[in-house]
Chains A and B, each alone.
Chain A
Amino acid sequence: MSTTDTVRPDPAPARPSRAATRSLRGRPALYTSYASELAIFNTGTKKFWVGALVVAVLLLPFALQRDMVALVATVFVFAIGGIGLNLLTGYAGQVSLGQAFFLGVGAYTAAVFGGESSRGVIGLGWDMAIWLPLAGLVPALIALVLAPLAARVRGLYLAILTLGLVFIGEHIFKEADAITGGAGVGRAPAEPIFLGFNLFDRYEVFGYRIDRFTTFYYACFVIFVVMAVLARNLVRSRFGRSFAAVRDRDVAAEVMGVSLLRTKTIAFAISSFYAGIAGALLSIIIGRISPETWNFFLSVEFLAVIFIGGLASISGAIAGAVFVVMLPKLVNNLTGFLPVSSGVGQGGILNVFELQTIIFGLLIVLFLILEPRGLYGLWIRVRNYFKAWPFSY
């Protein structure tokens, strides 16, 4: 190449390099500075859609029944847990079946610190401002303790190890009566009282009555947005890059100065923090926590969130959460037309839960084969199609 003579290292004072001096008008894909390229919502279109979505979310409770509002709150919670799992599995490449265990630990941590004590079950009744961070920190600490073990195995072995964690966890949850209420009994979750405000109370704002569940729904939304933005920041930092490096080529990552143990430990702890927060909020939406909730199938649902939504993508985890939470509702509505029963042991070929599990399984397999980037990948394809429009192929 004839240009190589001119690209010698430049001894002159740091000349602004190409990206820094770009300023082509009307080309949103080109950025004028590093800082603007590093910003998250860096285009007008993105800002518009995010704004529209926020307004829709805020208005939703006024248009929907309470159980639908709870369902949307569940989407936020699944998105939080899904983002956490995607950091570990999608970004750092460590497939974990242990998400349900950490959700459970989060739920019980919240219940112990933020719940009422009753009939031999511990509950300190502290404020949400204390129990919410603790619901993330305790699972993260447990993950820190387990990490040296988990970081030594990879692939299938890690999946099996974390699966074992779910079974051991379920057993402990059933036995630890003072914390969990025990098998078949369960306990009440944490009280959502934040800085003295009960998020389950009715409030009047500008003459509008805000329904009982609505404030909590807003709280879930805010927590979700904050945690999504934090995760988005993390993945473009040196930590996010080291996650991807370990996932793509672990030996090369080490030779580049990335510590495998440290990186996997950080990913595992952060993922468990997200799971713990999700578990605490989920237990409040459900209304009662039983040890059986935190089982293998819950872990599979979270894997479905990221595999269907899209690995290594924050937006993908959110899309996956919408899908996984809404699908059962859809299946339920279809049961009238299909030979399935609505409960266990009521005849029919399948019950609804079995049908859901089968659909999730099929979708995971289909996405793995056809579009490993999940719903997010499908969206990218659609977007690229319209970017090239009308010159689409």
Chain B
Amino acid sequence: MVELTIPDEVAVEGVETGRPVLEVDNISLSFGGTTAISDVSFDVRAGELFAIIGPNGAGKTSIFNSISGVYIPQQGSITFAGEDVLGRRPESIARLGVARMFQNIELFDNLTVLDNIMLGRHNHLHYSLLSAFLFAGKAKRAEVANRRIAEEIIDFLDIAAHRSFPVGMLPYGIKKRVELGRALAMQPSLLLLDEPVAGMNVEETEDMARFILDIRSELGISMILVEHDMGLVMDLADRVLVLDFGHRIALGTPAEVQADPAVIKAYLGEELG
């Protein structure tokens, strides 16, 4: 994955010293009467694996949607790579370097695995409409060069056997990998993973965990992981944010969070209720 390198500043700085790539400040989001996010703040440092946990409906996906511009919080601010991104269109935030896996797979079903991953390269392909019509010169060179990157991602995720099938007909676990591949193809500096192992068996979960660790160690991409699998979160994450009913109830290292009375109460409450 030679060409999949990450901007120097991100790769060089360690987690401890890293300055924040993402700063979320006091955001609040509501839909009519329901409050999805209420006054939540956190930051994600360069190279960090940051986790967000919380019971169903706690607002985790809403936070992802706010970061990627699908929802616009009514209050607060979101700064990514030094730029205020609140209110920007999703495609412009994507261009700044935010990539994403969705909770419910959102692949382009009629496109092949390869084309889905190539779509992740969309903003790295700059040839003109005219050159696309002729498919010569710049367009062809760019396609061939980027195909090589896409093939490397396919090899990395071990999905070469599926590369020319439409993703609609692939099994769930493979679709999840393709979605990860499509996000990686964007060469993001921040990767949002919304329940990447939900519905997976132990083996598939281990594979996915290994991919996440590889991405972190070899590519140095900052990540936010939303996951209900507590074992995975506590194993992988540098820091954990705990949400309940849209509120931030804890933020700290896995050990700190696990010992937090508010967290224990929220999770016990859920189990009892």
Q: Is B175 an interface residue (CB 8 A)?
A: no
Q: Is B251 an interface residue (CB 8 A)?
A: no
Q: Is B236 an interface residue (CB 8 A)?
A: no
Could you tell me if A257 and B91 are in contact, using CB atoms closer than 8 angstroms?
yes
Could you tell me if A18 and B155 are in contact, using CB atoms closer than 8 angstroms?
yes
Q: Is B31 an interface residue (CB 8 A)?
A: no
For the complex formed, measure the closest distance between the CB of A310 and the CB atoms of chain B, giving whole angstroms: 13
Per-position 1/0 for A221-260, Cβ under 8 A of B: 0000000001001101111111011011101111111111
Residue of B nearest to A238 (CB): B125
- Tell me the complex Cα distance, A266–B1, Å: 33
Could you tell me if A14 and B118 are in contact, using CB atoms closer than 8 angstroms?
no
Per-position 1/0 for B103-140, Cβ under 8 A of A: 00011111100010011111101010100111100011
Could you tell me if A1 and B70 are in contact, using CB atoms closer than 8 angstroms?
no
Chain B residues 173 to 221 lying within 8 A of chain A, measured CB to CB, are: 182, 186, 203, 207, 210-211, 214, 218-219
For the complex formed, measure the closest distance between the CB of A254 and the CB atoms of chain B, giving whole angstroms: 4
CB contacts (< 8 Å) of B90 on chain A: these are 251, 254-255
Residue of B68, B107, B133, B148 near A233 (CB, 8 A) is B133
For the complex formed, measure the closest distance between the CB of A306 and the CB atoms of chain B, giving whole angstroms: 15
Could you tell me if B135 and A236 are in contact, using CB atoms closer than 8 angstroms?
yes
Could you tell me if B111 and A245 are in contact, using CB atoms closer than 8 angstroms?
yes
CB contacts (< 8 Å) of A251 on chain B: these are 70, 90, 106
- CB within 8 Å for A9 and B218 given contacts A244-B111, A255-B90: yes
Could you tell me if A38 and B108 are in contact, using CB atoms closer than 8 angstroms?
no
Chain B residues 125 to 164 lying within 8 A of chain A, measured CB to CB, are: 125, 127, 129, 132-135, 139-140, 143-144, 147-148, 151-152, 154-158, 160, 163
If over half of A's interface residues share one DSSP class (helix, strand or loop), that class is named, otherwise mixed; here it is: helix
Q: Is B165 an interface residue (CB 8 A)?
A: no
Q: Is A120 an interface residue (CB 8 A)?
A: no
- CB within 8 Å for A255 and B214 given contacts A1-B207, A241-B111, A241-B115: no
- Tell me the complex Cα distance, A14–B132, Å: 26
Q: Is A20 an interface residue (CB 8 A)?
A: yes
CB contacts (< 8 Å) of B95 on chain A: these are 257
Could you tell me if B186 and A233 are in contact, using CB atoms closer than 8 angstroms?
no
Q: Is A48 an interface residue (CB 8 A)?
A: no
If over half of B's interface residues share one DSSP class (helix, strand or loop), that class is named, otherwise mixed; here it is: helix
Q: Is B169 an interface residue (CB 8 A)?
A: no
- CB within 8 Å for A19 and B111 given contacts A242-B122, A255-B100, A256-B182: no
Could you tell me if B108 and A258 are in contact, using CB atoms closer than 8 angstroms?
no
Could you tell me if A238 and B132 are in contact, using CB atoms closer than 8 angstroms?
yes
- CB within 8 Å for A14 and B2 given contacts A237-B143, A245-B119, A251-B70: yes
Residue of A nearest to B90 (CB): A254
Could you tell me if A4 and B210 are in contact, using CB atoms closer than 8 angstroms?
yes
Residue of B2, B99, B132 near A237 (CB, 8 A) is B132
Chain A residues 314 to 333 lying within 8 A of chain B, measured CB to CB, are: none
Could you tell me if A34 and B119 are in contact, using CB atoms closer than 8 angstroms?
no
Q: Is B234 an interface residue (CB 8 A)?
A: no
- Tell me the complex Cα distance, A236–B139, Å: 10
For the complex formed, measure the closest distance between the CB of A283 and the CB atoms of chain B, giving whole angstroms: 25
Could you tell me if A1 and B133 are in contact, using CB atoms closer than 8 angstroms?
no
Could you tell me if B218 and A14 are in contact, using CB atoms closer than 8 angstroms?
no
Residue of B120, B140, B154, B211 near A38 (CB, 8 A) is B140
Could you tell me if B127 and A248 are in contact, using CB atoms closer than 8 angstroms?
no
Residue of B nearest to A9 (CB): B1
Q: Is A390 an interface residue (CB 8 A)?
A: no
Residue of A7, A34, A238 near B148 (CB, 8 A) is A34
CB contacts (< 8 Å) of B70 on chain A: these are 251, 254-255
Q: Is A8 an interface residue (CB 8 A)?
A: yes
Could you tell me if B122 and A8 are in contact, using CB atoms closer than 8 angstroms?
no
Q: Is A67 an interface residue (CB 8 A)?
A: no
For the complex formed, measure the closest distance between the CB of B217 and the CB atoms of chain A, giving whole angstroms: 9
- Tell me the complex Cα distance, A237–B157, Å: 24
Q: Is A13 an interface residue (CB 8 A)?
A: yes
For the complex formed, measure the closest distance between the CB of A26 and the CB atoms of chain B, giving whole angstroms: 19
Could you tell me if A230 and B134 are in contact, using CB atoms closer than 8 angstroms?
yes
- Tell me the complex Cα distance, A74–B100, Å: 48
Residue of A10, A20, A239, A256 near B1 (CB, 8 A) is A10
- CB within 8 Å for A11 and B2 given contacts A17-B152, A237-B132, A237-B135: yes
Q: Is A24 an interface residue (CB 8 A)?
A: no
Could you tell me if A258 and B152 are in contact, using CB atoms closer than 8 angstroms?
no
- Tell me the complex Cα distance, A7–B154, Å: 10
Could you tell me if A14 and B3 are in contact, using CB atoms closer than 8 angstroms?
yes
Q: Is A3 an interface residue (CB 8 A)?
A: yes
- Tell me the complex Cα distance, A13–B1, Å: 9
- Tell me the complex Cα distance, A233–B130, Å: 10
- Tell me the complex Cα distance, A34–B150, Å: 12
CB contacts (< 8 Å) of A9 on chain B: these are 1, 4, 152, 156, 214, 218-219
- CB within 8 Å for A35 and B156 given contacts A19-B151, A258-B91, A259-B89: no
> Can you list 19 A-B contacts with CB-CB less than 8 angstroms, sorted by A residue number?
A7-B157, A8-B214, A8-B218, A9-B156, A17-B148, A17-B155, A34-B148, A230-B133, A234-B129, A236-B135, A237-B143, A242-B119, A248-B108, A248-B109, A255-B68, A255-B91, A256-B91, A256-B120, A256-B186
Closest 3 CB pairs of A and B: A9-B1, A257-B94, A237-B132
